[in-house]
Structure 1
Amino acid sequence: MTRTPPPRLSTRGLSRDYGPVRVVDDVSLQFHAGTIHALLGENGAGKSTVVKMLSGVIQPTEGEVLLDGSPLELSNVREGQASGIIALPQELTLVPTLSVAENIFLGMKRPGRRVLHQPRVLSRDARAQLDRLGQKLPMGVPVRELSAVQQTMVALARALVRDARVLILDEPTASLTDSETEQLFAVLRSLREQGTTIIYVSHRLEEVFALADEATVMRNGRHVWTRPIAELDQDQVISAMIGRAQGQLFPDRATGGGDPVLHADGVAGYTVDDVSLTLRRGRVLGIAGLAGSGRSELLRILSGAERAQRGRVLLGDDDLTGRSIAARMSAGVVLVPEERRSQGLVMTHSIASNIALGNYPSLSTAGVASPSREAATASRLVDDLQIRARSIRQRVNELSGGNQQKVVLARYLERRPSVLLLDEPTRGIDVGTKAEIYHLIRRLADEGVAVAVVSSEIPELLGVADEIAVLHDGRLTGVVDAATATEESITHLCYRKSDR
């Protein structure tokens, strides 16, 4: 009688406490060889904590991790890597100034090599690992010169050097284009065929259904279920993640037109070229386009974060052209940047101090910061935006991605803007928090704010916007009514050159 092999990696009654709070509770999972297993859940569901326990970053309070059916005690990440468990975080841990070959072998002891840094030997051995991935990369160039998907391939090659039997990927496509995502998927499918166990953490359900064999859903630190992807649809997954029927993801649109608030008149920058459009009070303008089309640059020009090479930006009758970002913020034009970690937050500071940044004039008395006013403001905004945290003194690097984004929004909303510019406001956050942000956007519009939203997800723009402006190679190819537009019609405009 043939004996069924044990799962490649599994957990039994895994739990983790932080002080009095249990963040993962009695989780038992199985990850099999030669499969891609999606790990799903809202921000704060416990996914990241499970991944950290699987890879040795932290240790469980109760329960155990098993490798090939045998208990595995990991004191640190290095022990996890030695066991063949390699986690690739969303922010890849590559050294930008080192070459491709040097990054692949970084930190490795290479038995039998008396000279560990012979460029020719490193390049030959690194090329062999990239060949396993079907990749051709220049060995000697610094990785900072590579594209996002090429950097991901370097990280995967480094995992192969360490004889990875289990690969854990956290939001690996967050910074990739559609074509780069397909390139990554082809490599992951190849690794699956070679017997590698792949644990795939993502908020992009369309990717999960295109790639994974099985899916596990977690909610509030507990295991909800594990099922084959072939037996699921997206509504079932979303309902399991949020603990209720999906309901209305997007709020109702505005019913009337608003007065013009902010007008761009023929603005141009490095990519943006002769763009004219108007943001209206109480309306949400979506901005679509392919990567490199100038979407984010347009928001930076409108906000003053980037100087326009020509054209004008008008706030009502007030010409903002040439004014700094600080001056435009004082006038009521606020930009919430795309990269919340590097551009929007001080990760080691508390929620309260992050909200206070840039708001000290309103939180001070006679030029002296008022801790009580700072705390009261933070508490009010935490409640209003439903930021899930232990207290306003919790550091933002301990929050989930969705709650970090809410902290960024809270800081800028405290300025009570008349124009709110949002660059990829829901990137990397779960569907439940996305719905909360969509409803917040509509609430602000209903209160009279003029809102612009840049997103790489066309269905998101169709759901949240009233009108959608489309850019191609920096030029405006059309402005359409979101209520009657389709994904196909927007995509067509994304690829169409301007008639001008």
Structure 2
Amino acid sequence: MLVMKGIVKQFPGVRALDGVDLDVRAGEVHCLLGQNGAGKSTLIKVLAGVHQPDEGTVTFGGVQVRPSSPVDAIRLGFATIYQELDLVDGLSVAENIFLGHEPARFGFTRRAAAHRAAGQVLARLGHPEIRPSTEVARLSPAAKQVVSMARALSHDAKLIIMDEPSAALAHDEVGNLFRIIRELTAQGVAVVYISHRLEEIREIGDRVTVLKDGRTVAVGLPARDTPTSRVVSLMTGRDVEYVFPPRATREPGAQVLQVESLTLPGVFANVSFSVRAGEIVGLAGLVGSGRSEILEAVYGARRATGRVLLDGTPLTRGGTSTAVRRGMGLAPEERKAQALLLDQSVTANISLGSLPRFARLGWLDRAREREEARRLVQLLDIRPADPERPIKTLSGGNQQKAVLARWLLNGRKLLLLDEPTRGVDVGARAELYAVIRKLADEGIGVLLVSSEVPEVLGLADRVLVIREGTVIHQGDARDLDEHAVLDMIMEGSAAG
């Protein structure tokens, strides 16, 4: 169905694609793998009409095409679901689904028809509870993902490109996603599937193409039969072991954080736990269980009842500014929307939480600011090692390192990490794990949320299992395995 051959795309100072080849058959799920920065996003933007290739050809259904814009790509039969969802928060679900091709008659939008059609697409996706009239801004990240999928289906596309489609989905919702994908491929629709979760590739994929440094290093590998070690070696150019940094052998220090009966009506209730200096505490649970909201309430971004104490002293009302002043730092789930100034430099993003430190008589000491940023860029191995580079040009893993660097600059007692490796490739994950463990070894308390149970169990010292806003288990991470945690969060039965 699709053949891309010799695709080249250059940006100022960067050759993002250097002769990439890709072929996709009708009715297959073709998985596109590669580390952050390998060229996956650029390649799918060429398909989506966002970028025009400098060299190479794209053939679709035997005809050579060149999508000149996203609208042109949609007309050709391409639909793209991006990892960073491109929905309009101020519009309703139905308006987002049919944005740009609204049902109309005599020049007037047929709102009732749009709502009916939106409801049918959402029901097909297994989510009839999402109301077409609801404003998208009020939806959870998982629900927004469903709306983005519904929009792709509304175009009756022949080729659907999915960039990390499961990143914001709960465990049970991933199964529903795969059901829809299989239904589409049975009808002859081709799917290009991008994910960093190799277990997903084995379950849903047919063939795999691997990119590295803007080049194709493997085409059409069988998804289920290719050993993981082979895939990882192709992606990284080196062998990567799936191991977490060793846990600290010494006992954690004094309590840094104490949470008592924290309650946010309708979200979570009577949550109590503590974090000690040098300890990593993980929160495990499905999307929508209240994990992220607990982090935000601890940080002061949500007003909950109960008490939050830092070093034994209650955090009085004052929101996030009080939390930061007292020694907390937060790396939020949506780093691009909530943590980064994308058009600013790496230096500006790192120093954002510590500007008073560089102030002198009301002016910023830019030289000192750059010097400190350069030190942290080298310490955390942020690549490229250019503090003045716009942060939007960095890969997801390097952007996340910059967010961590922001809090290292000012010295933190407690770090709150919400999905710290979301959208981060295998090699960069190992680096982030090492950074997080190093911070804990230096005496910083860490409160971690992750959708991936193995990540919580492998990185945390102690784990809280959360189901429907309730902590149903607390214990040593070494006493749990993935199956036990999934049993608890799916069924609600505490283990011990």
Report if TM-score (shorter chain) is over 0.5: yes
Q: Structure 2 CA distance, aligned partners of 1:301 and 1:453? A: 14
Counterpart for residue 305 of structure 1:
301
**What secondary structure does 2:99 align onto?**
coil
SS of the counterpart of 1:286? Answer: strand
Amino acid in structure 2 at the alignment position of 1:341: K
CA deviations over 1:397-431 (Å, ceiling 9, x no partner): 22221121111111111111122221211112111
Range that drifts further, 215-224 or 284-293: 284-293
Describe the SS at the equivalent of 1:442: helix
For residues 143 and 320 of structure 2, what CA distance do their matches in structure 1 show?
34
Q: Runs of 5+ in structure 2 lacking a partner?
A: none
Separation in 2, partners of 1:304, 1:125: 40
For residues 174-213 of structure 1, what are the structure 2 equivalents within 5 Å?
174-213=167-206
Aligned equivalent of 2:276: 280
Residue number in structure 1 paired with 2:434: 439
The residue number in structure 2 matching 1:76 is 69
Counterpart mapping for 1:303-382 below 5 A: 303-315=299-311, 317-322=312-317, 324-382=319-377
Residues 189-215 of structure 1 deviation map (CA, whole Å, 9 limit, x = unaligned): 111011111101111222221111111
Question: Aligned match of 2:215 in 216, 222, 225?
Answer: 222
Deviation at 1:462, TM superposition (A): 1.4
Alignment partner, residue 496 of structure 1: 492
Which residue of structure 2 lines up, in the alignment, with residue 425 of structure 1? Answer: 420
> 1:269 maps to which residue?
263
Give the C-alpha shift of residue 141 in structure 1: 4.5
Distance 1:163 1:57 in 2: 20
1:238 aligns with 2:232: yes
Q: Is the CA contact 1:16–1:60 (under 8 Å) kept in the aligned structure 2?
A: yes
- Secondary structure in 2 matching 1:353: helix
Shift of 1:359: 0.9
SS at match of 1:469: strand
From the superposition, tell whether residues 161 and 447 of structure 1 become closer, same or farther in structure 2 (CA, over 3 Å).
closer
Q: State whether structure 2 residue 21 is matched by structure 1 residue 25.
A: no
C-alpha deviation, 1:90, in angstroms? 2.0
Code of the aligned partner of 2:111: P
Identify the residue that residue 410 of structure 1 maps to in structure 2.
405
Deviation at 1:159, TM superposition (A): 3.3
Amino acid at match of 1:276: S
1:289 aligned partner: 285
Distance 1:425 1:387 in 2: 15
Structure number with greater Rg is 1
Q: After alignment, is 98-107 or 81-90 more displaced? A: 98-107
Q: CA deviation at 1:460?
A: 0.4
Task: Give the superposition deviation at 1:374.
Answer: 1.5
- In structure 2, how many angstroms separate the alpha carbons of the residues matched to 1:134 and 1:339? 25
Contact 2:358 2:365 survives alignment (8 Å)? yes
Q: Is residue 171 from structure 1 mapped to residue 164 from structure 2 by the alignment? A: yes
Are 2:6 and 2:55, in contact at CA under 8 Å, matched by a contact in 1?
Answer: yes
The one-letter code matched in structure 1 to 2:66 is E
In the aligned structure 1, how far is the partner of 2:127 from the partner of 2:482?
32
Distance 1:157 1:276, change over 3 A: closer
TM-fit CA distance, 1:251: 0.7
Alpha-carbon distance in structure 2 between the residues aligned to 1:133 and 1:308: 34
Distance 1:109 1:293 in 2: 35
Deviation at 1:82, TM superposition (A): 1.6
Q: Provide the identity percentage.
A: 40
**CA RMSD in angstroms, aligned pairs only:** 2.6
Change (3 A) 1:475 1:109: closer
Q: 1:43 and 2:43 equivalent?
A: no
With over 3 angstroms needed to count, the CA separation of the structure-2 counterparts of 1:260 and 1:167, relative to structure 1, is same
Q: What displacement does 1:36 show?
A: 0.7
My pick for the range that moved more, 142-151 or 419-428, is 142-151
Kept in 1, the 8 Å contact 2:46–2:53? The answer is yes
Q: Specify whether residues 17 and 302 from structure 1 end up closer, same or farther in structure 2 by C-alpha distance, changes over 3 A only.
A: same
CA separation in 2, counterparts of 1:381 and 1:48?
27
Secondary structure at the counterpart of residue 224 of structure 2: helix
Q: Secondary structure at the match of 2:353?
A: coil
Closer, same or farther: CA 286–93 of 1 in aligned 2, 3 Å: closer
Contact 2:102 2:109 in 1 (8 A): no
The number of residue pairs the alignment matches comes to 490
Instruction: Tell me which amino acid in the other structure corresponds to 2:343.
Output: T
| CA drift at 1:9 | 1.0
Q: Structure 2 vs 1, CA of residues 149 and 484 (structure 1 numbering), >3 Å: closer, same or farther?
A: closer
| Structure 1 residues 161 and 468, CA gap change in structure 2 (3 angstroms) | closer
Alpha-carbon shift at residue 447 of structure 1 (Å): 1.5
TM-score (norm 2): 0.90
Q: Mapping of 1:384-395 within 5 angstroms?
A: 384-389=379-384, 391-395=386-390
Q: Distance in 1 between matches of 2:297 and 2:124?
A: 44
Cα displacement (A) at 1:438: 0.4
Partner Cα separation in structure 2 for residue 377 and residue 216 of structure 1: 40
Q: Distance in 2 between matches of 1:122 and 1:327?
A: 46
Q: CA deviation at 1:83?
A: 1.2
Q: Once the 2 structures are TM-superposed, how far is the Cα of residue 131 of structure 1 from its aligned partner?
A: 7.2
Question: How many Å apart are 1:102 and its aligned residue?
Answer: 3.6
Secondary structure class of the residue paired with 1:269:
strand
Report how far residue 269 of structure 1 moved.
2.2
Q: TM-score, normalised by structure 1?
A: 0.90
Q: 1:330 to 1:153 in 2, by over 3 A?
A: closer
Tell me which amino acid in the other structure corresponds to 1:363: F
Which position in structure 2 is the counterpart of 1:67?
A: 60
1:448 alignment counterpart: 443
2:87 is the alignment partner of 1:94: yes
Aligned to 1:5: none
| Secondary structure, aligned partner of 1:28 | strand
CA distance in 2, matches of 1:139, 1:334: 37
Contact 1:264 1:302 in 2 (8 A): no
Kindly provide the amino acid, as one letter, of the partner of residue 200 in structure 2. Answer: E
Q: 1:430 to 1:97 in 2, by over 3 A?
A: same
Amino acid corresponding to residue 479 of structure 1 in structure 2 = Q
Aligned equivalents of 2:314, 2:145: Cα separation in 1 = 44
**Bigger Cα displacement from structure 2, 164-173 vs 290-299:** 290-299
Contact persistence 2:359–2:365 (CA under 8 A): yes
CA–CA separation in structure 2 for the residues paired with 1:189 and 1:215: 17
1:85 maps to 78
